[in-house]
């Protein structure tokens, strides 16, 4: 059995080396093209996913430079630069159709996000949060109504995430002392969803269901909550609490536009799903996560219920289920990235 003191020393040393390996290299993300109609505006939104690393130490801010590009590769409009910290504030920049310079009914545009970590302080006390850990989206929306037409989403966590192994706490594999150290945080996993535009006629909804049935073994229940955030990073309304087990029960939370207090045609909002798994009383040797959910986020017309934008994902990637192949993971699994979504209506 590993002594707690030795475990703490080992963890601190590993994360010290990981922190020291960070550099200031620029990471450029090229987002998939969207089709921009003459009645629409394109928007890139970015939110920090630092809260997705429970118990981690925030090392540095991140400079995000956002630029739109036309079909010929030219830069459209004026690039925007943001300084992103650890708060769930949404940073957005827009490109109206008029800035494309096209004389047809619609035109392809893409966007690039260049992420540059700032100066950071090395930490050996807790898992470091990767520099430039952000969640982002590229959308097109009707300029007059604010209704989303197309949506592209993604997540970035710096250029050395593989070295750090993420700050993930789920699942914990191996020695009981190490596992209890990992599970000491509450929540033990946070999923930061990409920002979406919410029009005055819309409601945004998060739905979750236990996906334990998709695994050969299931360690049992866990608790969690769903919270919505405004563009300024403040919580909107009261988070919705839930408890899940092996049954495929669906839990959901909604946020209508009126609850945001906005008075513009649309408002950028984000959401987080927090999951809390209990510490294990025996060494965790299963290849199945102790708390796994499938989730979706969508915006829909409040009056008709018609879906406008849709994003799906899972708290732990299905690839983590190696039990069928007789393989047990040797490192904690990083939390899943939101799956690419799509907008309906085009």
What is the phi/psi pair of residue 256, to 5°? -75, 155
- The pLDDT tens digits along the chain (346 residues) read 333 333 333 444 444 444 444 556 789 999 999 999 999 999 999 999 988 887 778 888 999 999 999 999 999 999 999 999 999 999 999 999 999 987 778 899 999 999 999 876 665 566 678 889 999 999 999 999 999 999 999 998 754 332 223 334 455 555 555 555 555 566 778 899 999 999 999 999 999 998 877 665 555 568 899 999 999 999 999 999 999 877 888 999 999 999 998 888 889 999 999 988 765 555 545 555 567 788 999 999 999 999 999 999 888 643 333 333 233 222 223 333 333 333 333 3
Nearest to 194 by CA among 264, 113, 130, 129: 113
Whose tokens are 């987080």? That residue is: 272
Provide the pairing of β-strand 342-343 with 307-314.
Answer: antiparallel
Intra-chain end-to-end CA distance of the chain, in Å: 59
CB-CB contact of 125 with 55 (8 Å): no
Q: Phi and psi for 101 in degrees, rounded to 5? A: 80, 15
The range of the structural domain enclosing residue 144 comes to: 4-343
Nearest to 69 by CA among 21, 101, 23, 25: 101
State the Cα–Cα distance between residues 46 and 81, nearest whole angstrom: 11
What's the domain count of the chain?
A: 1
Residue 172's φ and ψ, nearest 5 degrees, are -95, 135
| Rounded distance between C-alpha atoms, residue 63 and residue 115, angstroms | 6
Q: Alpha-carbon distance 28 to 32, whole Å?
A: 13
Whose CA is closest to 110, among 156, 72, 82? 72
CA dihedral 83, 86, 88, 89 (to 10 degrees): -20
Render the burial of 264-298: b for 16+ CB within 10 Å, e for the rest: ebbbbbbbbbbbbbeebeeebebbbbbbbbbbbbb
CA within 13 Å, CB half, 79: 15
Distances (CA, A) of 3 to 9, 176, 330: 10, 10, 19
CA distance 171 to 312: 21
Work out whether the CA dihedral 46, 224, 54, 211 comes out positive or negative: negative
| Element (DSSP H or E) covering residue 8 | helix 4-20
DSSP type of residue 97: G
């Amino acid at each position: 059995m590993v002594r707690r003191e030795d475990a703490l020393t080992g963890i601190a040393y590993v994360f010290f080396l990981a922190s020291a390996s960070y550099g200031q290299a620029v990471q450029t993300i090229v987002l998939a093209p969207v089709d921009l109609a003459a009645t629409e505006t394109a928007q890139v939104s970015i939110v920090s996913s630092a809260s997705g690393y429970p118990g981690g130490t925030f090392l540095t801010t991140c400079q995000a430079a956002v630029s739109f590009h036309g079909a010929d590769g030219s830069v459209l409009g004026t690039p925007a630069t943001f300084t992103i910290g650890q708060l769930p504030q949404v940073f957005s920049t827009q490109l109206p159709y008029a800035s494309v310079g096209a004389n047809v009914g619609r035109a392809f545009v893409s966007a690039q996000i260049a992420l540059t970590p700032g100066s950071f302080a090395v930490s050996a006390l807790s898992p470091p949060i990767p520099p430039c850990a952000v969640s982002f989206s590229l959308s097109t929306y009707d300029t007059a109504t604010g209704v989303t037409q197309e949506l592209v989403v993604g997540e970035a966590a710096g250029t050395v995430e593989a070295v750090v192994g993420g700050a993930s706490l789920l699942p914990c594999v191996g020695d009981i002392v190490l596992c209890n150290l990992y599970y000491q945080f509450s929540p033990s996993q946070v999923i930061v969803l990409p920002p979406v535009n919410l029009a005055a006629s819309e409601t945004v909804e998060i739905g979750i269901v236990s996906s334990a049935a998709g695994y050969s073994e299931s360690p049992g229940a866990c608790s969690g909550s769903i919270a919505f955030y405004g563009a300024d990073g403040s919580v909107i309304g009261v988070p919705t609490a839930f408890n899940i087990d092996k049954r495929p029960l669906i839990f959901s939370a909604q946020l209508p536009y009126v609850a945001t207090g906005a008075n513009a045609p649309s408002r950028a909002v984000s959401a987080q799903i927090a999951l809390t798994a209990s510490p294990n009383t025996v060494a965790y040797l299963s290849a199945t996560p102790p708390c796994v959910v499938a989730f979706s986020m969508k915006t829909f017309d409040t009056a008709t219920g018609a879906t406008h934008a849709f994003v799906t994902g899972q708290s732990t990637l299905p690839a983590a289920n190696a039990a069928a192949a007789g393989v047990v993971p040797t490192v904690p699994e990083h939390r899943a990235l939101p799956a690419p979504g799509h907008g309906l209506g085009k």
